[in-house]
Amino acid sequence: MTALREPAWHWPKPDLRGELRFEESLSEHTSWRAGGPAERFYLPADRDDLMVFLRALPTDEHLFWLGLGSNLLVRDGGIRGTVICTRNRLKALRRSGEDRVYAEAGVPCALVAKFCAEQGLAGAEFLAGIPGTLGGALAMNAGAFGGETWSLVQGVTSVDRFGTVRERVPSDFAIGYRTVRGPVGEWFLAAELGLAPDENAASRSKIKALLARRNETQPTHQPSCGSVFRNPEGDHAARLIEASGLKGIRIGGACVSEKHANFIINTGSATAKDIETLVFHVQAEVRQRQGVELLPEVRIVGSPAPEAK
Ligand SMILES: Cc1cc2nc3c(=O)[nH]c(=O)nc-3n(C[C@H](O)[C@H](O)[C@H](O)COP(=O)(O)OP(=O)(O)OC[C@H]3O[C@@H](n4cnc5c(N)ncnc54)[C@H](O)[C@@H]3O)c2cc1C
């Protein structure tokens, strides 16, 4: 048994079935393949186990929720406290009504899209190319090709740090372009999605076409976080970055993609610091050359690495 670093933690709890890891490298759990460790990293066995874990958690423990890490830059010093990883853990997915699908937060978006298409339900095709979990998509209001996560949401199940579960409706949240503001201190456990009948059995071919378009225009086989910046009103971040002559520029192992200027790729050895420095360099250059303030879409979390003595 791993030695505990905090006396306040009485582990193992006999009634817990999940896996608690210590100093887990988050570069293994983020699509940028960079960043520091999680002090504690919990993989719940399922939703019930997660509730037991939350109720057992010291009340001052910092909590961070992680899906597939496809919109996250974790700084090299990592995340203190506990990271809860839902990926492959909260994975219930079922048809819950004639035009309804119920999915837990850890289900990959691509699986939700495929399941809906197989069920003869239309409207979730855009999720096929978003390489995150449904929980991350709910937190980000992820969208593509004209579709947005919250346009499908009929209701969500949330949980707070004490393990109190609530059913919430969309009007409990302020939803915008890649922003979702809702009750503070709650995370998503699951959502009920509303779809339409796939009258012409077109969903599968639509998914194929959307994925092909992505592969043509995005560096999908290199470590990235998708679009780094939000598109400003009436324009595209990629156009502004390209017009500023920034395609291909590098800092350490981080590089602005030649294929899509709003993507920063890890060429193999990038630290989170390289990536963050490049993000803010691009932002400053676009501000200076185009007079536009780009706002990051990616979430930058954690602490910088301690200075070497
Ligand atoms: C190649 C590529 C292409 C992409 N294309 C798109 C695109 O077309 N459109 C788009 O919108 N995004 C895109 N993204 C970004 C990313 O996939 C989405 O933002 C996705 O929704 C993030 O989901 P995740 O599970 O990876 O979340 P994570 O990156 O793990 O987390 C993102 C945020 O959500 C929070 N979070 C995660 N789970 C929960 C939960 N259960 N409850 C509450 N908060 C939670 C985290 O704390 C964090 O703040 C792309 C990324 C890549 C790498």
pLDDT per residue as tens digits for the range 233-287: 999 999 999 999 999 999 999 999 999 999 999 999 999 999 999 999 999 999 9
Full-model pTM: 0.95
Q: Is 227 one of the annotated active-site residues of the chain? A: yes
The reported pLDDT for the residue numbered 149 is 98
How far away, in angstroms, is 131 Cα from ligand 1 center? Answer: 7
Phi, psi at 302, each rounded to 5°: 90, -175
- Cα 226 to ligand 1 centroid, rounded to whole Å: 9
Residue 136 CB–ligand 1 contact under 6 Å: yes
**Chain centre to alpha carbon of residue 195:** 22
Please say if 297 is a catalytic residue: yes
Domains in the chain: ranges and CATH = 19-85 (3.30.43.10), 93-204 (3.30.465.10), 219-301 (3.90.78.10)
**Whether the CB of 106 sits within 6 Å of ligand 1:** no
State the pLDDT at residue 306. Answer: 80
pLDDT mean across residues, the chain: 94
**Which one-letter DSSP state was computed for residue 133?**
B
Q: What is the mean pLDDT of residues 163-171?
A: 97
pLDDT tens digits for range 35-83: 999 999 999 999 999 999 999 888 889 999 999 999 999 999 999 999 9
Cα(17) to centroid of ligand 1, in Å?
27
- Residue 2: the pLDDT is 41
pLDDT on residue 200: 84
* Minimum CA distance residue for ligand 1 atom 4: 226
pLDDT of residue 4: 42
Q: What is the mean pLDDT of residues 19-44?
A: 96
- Ordered DSSP codes for 199-234: TTS-HHHHHHHHHHHHHHHS-TTS---S-SBPPPTT
pLDDT tens, position by position, 100-129: 999 999 999 999 999 999 999 999 999 999
Ligand 1: residue of 27, 62, 71, 214 to mutate (most ligand atoms within 8 A of CB) is: 71
Terminal C-alpha separation, the chain? 33
Quote the ligand 1 centre to 136 CA distance (angstroms). 4
